[in-house]
Amino acid sequence: MPVGKVGPLDWQQQLDLGFELIDAQSVGSLAACIVEPILSSGGILEPPVGYLAALQQKCRERGMLLILDEAQTGLCRTGDWYALQRDGVVPDILTLSKTLGAGFPLAAVITTAEIESAAHDRDFLFFTTHVSDPLVAAVGNTVLDVLTRDHLDEQAAKLGAYLRAGLEELAGRHPVIADIRGRGLLLGVELGGPEADQLGAAVTRRCLELGLHMNIVQLPGMGGVFRIAPPLTATEEELSLGLEILDQALDRPR
């Protein structure tokens, strides 16, 4: 059952328990906690509202930094510029990738001047061949301009609602669809039943034959969860075509 549906006491208790276990194994100098605001490759799992704020509180109590990894969720994908906006939590460090480079290998680490200078004072090093590469930086700046100019946050919210409605319609006709979740244009479709892993693989194969690349969670036991993250610039016609193909594949997987 998705975490968000079990009630506030349960997740708070689980968070408390998790930190009790961490504290029991720590010498007391924990550096940071890094999380995705929506677990993407883990099966499109959304923490309940309040979870990230409670996690930040746990971090503060221990002098730890909170790092939010928005490589997948950031830059308009969820219908907001950042998924963290739903929770109103400002992390100490934010990481971005994927959308930022529009296909180019570009990632960013965003933090405060204070943390940056503490890292510098402690001689922390980070370098790669392409660090501060002006070409990909120019691409990244253009991506930010286009996201702003074309209001792709609003577009992702609108297309996400369209896609979700289509998936819900499919779920009405395919009882094997057990859950639809996610936000904006980052949606998860979970297949139910004991054969979900094999069925997920068979539906993925059939979709590919029909011209649709589907991304399925690769974790054992979670192989029946599709991760759907179409381009932010997709059209309703393209989403409809994807839904039609998924419909056919669910009818006759192989």
78 binds ligand PLP (CB under 6 A): no
Closer CB to ligand PLP, residue 56 or residue 72?
72
2 in Cβ contact with 181 (< 8 Å): yes
- Specify the DSSP class assigned to residue 235: -
**What character string, x for contact with ligand PLP (CB under 6 A) and - otherwise, covers 161-190?**
------------------------------
Q: How far is CA 11 from CA 3, 49, 51, 135, 183, in A?
A: 7, 10, 7, 44, 20
Q: Whole-number minimum distance, CB 206 to ligand PLP, in Å?
A: 25
Q: How far is CA 4 from CA 41, 67, 89, 118, 219, in A?
A: 17, 21, 18, 37, 21
- Choose, by CB under 6 A, the member of 4, 15, 45, 97 that binds ligand PLP: 97
46 binds ligand PLP (CB under 6 A): no
36 binds ligand PLP (CB under 6 A): yes
Helix 8-25 / helix 51-61 crossing angle, nearest 10 deg: 30
Number of residues that bind ligand PLP (CB under 6 A): 8
- Choose, by CB under 6 A, the member of 46, 67, 69, 253 that binds ligand PLP: 69
* Site of interaction with ligand PLP (CB under 6 A): 36, 40-41, 69, 71-72, 97, 107
